[in-house]
Amino acid sequence: MGPNAIITSPTFFGLVLAFDDPVRKGPNPNSEIVGWAQRLVVFASLEEISLHMTYDIVFTSGEFNGSTLNLVGRNPLTRDYREFSVVGGPGAFQLARGFVVDRTVFNSTYDAIFEYNVTQIDHASGSTVGPIDNNKE
């Protein structure tokens, strides 16, 4: 958020931000980077701090290197339990359908660590796999 941003809403309603943050194997800030969390978010609620997100997790190492997971949905940031959708992705995630459970591990003014458990239908085998990883950013 730039120094000149004018926020009049207590829920930051209308604020649009883009992020590109590391995705790590574990919640430790030194754990291995497996990809990048690239997302466009809009603070979409007048009632609470809640995002609408269009979100790509771009894997750059490990089992899913070269694949991207496409996520979308609502993220009411201050709630303990949050869920949004896996809608697909190129590579290993073609035709993927599933959901992400999101939890805040740590937050401060400028930093936060989120833990994701991803559950998705594996169309190649027809079975349900998940969680595929505990992705942290």
Q: Which is nearer to ligand NAG, 60 or 94 (CB)?
A: 60
Q: Which is nearer to ligand NAG, 54 or 119 (CB)?
A: 119
CB 106 to ligand NAG: min, Å? 8
The DSSP symbol for 66 reads T
Q: Which is nearer to ligand NAG, 34 or 96 (CB)?
A: 34
Enclosing H/E stretch for 106: strand 97-107
At residue 24, what is the residue type?
Answer: R
Interacting residues with ligand NAG (CB under 6 A): 49, 60-61, 65-66, 77-78, 101, 103-104, 107, 115, 117, 131, 134
At 110, is the secondary structure helix, strand, or coil? coil
Torsion of CA 54, 85, 103, 129, to 10 degrees: -130
